[in-house]
Amino acid sequence: MAKRQIIRIDEKLCDGCGLCVPSCAEGAIEIVEGKARLVADKYCDGLGACLGECPTGALIIEEREADEFVGPAPGAPGHHPAPEPQAAPETLACGCPGTMARQFQPGAAPEAAASALSHWPVKLRLVNPKAPFLQGAELLVAADCAPFAAGDFHARLLQGKVVLCGCPKFDDMEEYVAKLTDILKENDIRGITIANIEVPCCFGLVQMVRAAMQAAGQSLPVTICTLGTQGNVVQQQKIKAA
């Protein structure tokens, strides 16, 4: 066991509405006897994607002793049954399933289409909060890997939006929260779509957006589009503003 961030559910406040269940991509929450329950500590990544869905405030993130995170629970959208072992598994120092080597059989490449990109730069750390293309925009906050996973990224997600990309695993999230907060304060942003990958660390983008909206005192419509590593939409949901 190690001390880490993990969800806690206040049974007195929980009314059993179940809105938190589909928002947890890890499948760590179930409704049992009319109350939300944490299935097991090991399935909770502690990133809090479920927090904004609770209408009674029964869910909070706390730091305590808990089993190490092992990945999605069986049956969750991000869970894939392990294949038959063929060789000794590689030991990952970080324990992150997002670094696991996998090989796919690619489908047919889509026909060439016009780019939907409307501005430059696209990396969040490089974007000036006062850039004219941000005024009145709808933002697409995308994981760096998302355009590579989704062959139709431009047509499906980018069309009509201003993209800001980053990696919650390797980039400075505090810096990103500060930059996004400035963007929200300086511009009349209409809404935010988050395009993340189903690996646990990628849900840090959701936390970043929530923290920035709270710091900016903004309440905006937010849609989370979670992609599988082969570009399929694993889950799409709207969340409540912070």
Q: Which of 60, 75, 90 is the last residue of a domain?
A: 75
Element (H, E) at 9: strand 2-9
Specify the CATH number for the domain of residue 158.
3.40.50
Specify the CATH number for the domain of residue 58.
3.30.70.20
Out of 72-86, 104-118, 207-221, give the one with best mean pLDDT. 207-221
> Within this chain, do residues 43 and 131 fall inside the same structural domain, yes or no?
no
Asked whether residue 110 is assigned to any structural domain, the reply reads: no
Task: Specify the pLDDT at position 202.
Answer: 85
Confidence of residue 105 (pLDDT cuts 50, 70, 90): low
Task: Specify the pLDDT at position 89.
Answer: 47
Pair of tokens at residue 209:
């957006």
Asked whether residue 20 is assigned to any structural domain, the reply reads: yes
> Within this chain, do residues 50 and 128 fall inside the same structural domain, yes or no?
no
Asked whether residue 80 is assigned to any structural domain, the reply reads: no
Pair of tokens at residue 146:
């998302």
> Within this chain, do residues 226 and 150 fall inside the same structural domain, yes or no?
yes
Provide the domain count of the chain: 2
> For residue 55, what are the domain limits?
2-75
Considering the chain, what is the average pLDDT of its residues? 83
Tell me the average pLDDT across 176-204. 92
Give the sheet arrangement for strand 162-166, strand by strand.
162-166, 138-143, 191-197, 222-227, 233-239
> Within this chain, do residues 220 and 128 fall inside the same structural domain, yes or no?
yes
Is the predicted pLDDT of residue 39 greater than 90, yes or no?
A: no
How many H helices and E strands in the chain? 5, 9
Tell me the average pLDDT across 25-33. 84
> Within this chain, do residues 50 and 133 fall inside the same structural domain, yes or no?
no
Asked whether residue 113 is assigned to any structural domain, the reply reads: no
Is the predicted pLDDT of residue 21 greater than 90, yes or no?
A: no
Asked whether residue 97 is assigned to any structural domain, the reply reads: no
Task: Specify the pLDDT at position 186.
Answer: 95
> Within this chain, do residues 69 and 128 fall inside the same structural domain, yes or no?
no
Tell me the average pLDDT across 65-92. 62
Tell me the average pLDDT across 130-135. 94
Can you give the pTM of this predicted structure? 0.60
Burial of 89 (0-12, 13-18, 19+ CB in 10 A): exposed
Asked whether residue 100 is assigned to any structural domain, the reply reads: no
Is the predicted pLDDT of residue 74 greater than 80, yes or no?
A: no
Is the predicted pLDDT of residue 16 greater than 90, yes or no?
A: no
**Angle at Cα 166 formed by Cα 199 and Cα 50, nearest 5°?**
45
Q: How far apart are CA 117 and CA 163, in angstroms?
A: 8
| Model pLDDT for residues 211-231, shown as the tens digit of each residue | 999 999 998 999 999 998 787
Relative to beta strand 2-9, strand 59-66 is antiparallel
Question: Is the four-CA dihedral 10, 16, 20, 26 of positive or negative sign?
Answer: positive
> Within this chain, do residues 63 and 129 fall inside the same structural domain, yes or no?
no
Q: Cβ atoms within 10 A of the Cβ of 227, count? A: 26
Give the position of tokens 């796919």: 104
Asked whether residue 116 is assigned to any structural domain, the reply reads: no
Is the predicted pLDDT of residue 22 greater than 60, yes or no?
A: yes
| Residue 35 near residue 7, CB atoms below 8 Å | no
> Within this chain, do residues 230 and 135 fall inside the same structural domain, yes or no?
yes
Q: Which of 55, 75, 95 is the last residue of a domain?
A: 75
Task: Specify the pLDDT at position 45.
Answer: 85
Tell me the average pLDDT across 193-215. 89
Relative to beta strand 233-239, strand 2-9 is unpaired
Task: Specify the pLDDT at position 111.
Answer: 66
Furthest CA-CA distance within the chain = 55
Asked whether residue 15 is assigned to any structural domain, the reply reads: yes
Which range (65-79, 98-112, 219-233) has the least confidence?
98-112
> Within this chain, do residues 47 and 152 fall inside the same structural domain, yes or no?
no
